[in-house]
Amino acid sequence: MKLTIALSKGRIFEETLPLLAAAGIVPAEDPESSRKLVIDTNHEHVKLVIVRASDVPTYVQYGAADLGIAGRDVLIEHGGDGLYQPLDLNIARCKMMVAVSNDFDYEAAVKHGARLKIATKYPQIAREHFARKGVHVDIIKLYGSMELAPLVGLADAIVDLVSTGNTLKANNLLAVEHILDISSRLVVNQAALKLKYSTIQPVLDAFASAVPA
């Protein structure tokens, strides 16, 4: 039976390779060097489709892919409709944080009832975080280079992923609040899991046995 797996390039793809290997799946090409969006594997019926990280849940939701791997950040923003999320793969780990300019007094600004301008690629996560604190926010949606926003006065703070912290440091920003721990999860189309159970379940089991500690 045919199986299509949606992946994004870069870190998720690289850290997924050992999991695919555990399921006996070896991609025929590296998407980093190939321009192909559909990558064959050593199994005639197993294909990988290479999409934007934030589009993975959409491909799986509509059944264009049976399985996918997406960050918790992306899944929260998507909402998770039509998806099972059976497995935390413990890969592409990082933290969702609030960060401000080194010279910005966040403690003073974030008082209950205050109003802050927040630049982010993650409006849902940012809105929920500040709602819990009783802080009003104007969300400014950006698609990248969030770190620039506080430096040029576009926002008081950003909500962004932090891994090593080097990007913040290089831009004179300071992480002031931890919102969520992020890792990537396996997502499965709900109908596909029923219809292709005998094909999908062994892949889920192999992934589960190969999840890094």
Contact residues toward ligand AMP (CB under 6 A) are 11, 71, 92, 94, 160-167
Q: Which is nearer to ligand AMP, 93 or 117 (CB)?
A: 93
Q: Which is nearer to ligand AMP, 108 or 152 (CB)?
A: 152
Which residues make beta-bridge pairs with 176? none
Least gap, CB of 124 to ligand AMP (angstroms): 16
Q: Which is nearer to ligand AMP, 65 or 162 (CB)?
A: 162
Which phi and psi angles does 50 have, rounded to 5°? -100, 115
Least gap, CB of 14 to ligand AMP (angstroms): 11
Q: Which is nearer to ligand AMP, 38 or 151 (CB)?
A: 151
Least gap, CB of 150 to ligand AMP (angstroms): 14
Q: Under a CB-based contact definition with an 8 Å cutoff, are residues 39 and 99 in contact?
A: no
Least gap, CB of 145 to ligand AMP (angstroms): 8
Query: Strand, coil or helix: what is 16?
Result: helix
β-strands 94-101, 173-182 pairing: antiparallel
Which residues make beta-bridge pairs with 68? 6, 187
Q: Which is nearer to ligand AMP, 66 or 160 (CB)?
A: 160
Least gap, CB of 70 to ligand AMP (angstroms): 10
Alpha-carbon span 51 to 54, nearest angstrom = 8
**Other beta carbons within 10 Å of 203:** 23
Alpha-carbon span 80 to 57, nearest angstrom = 7
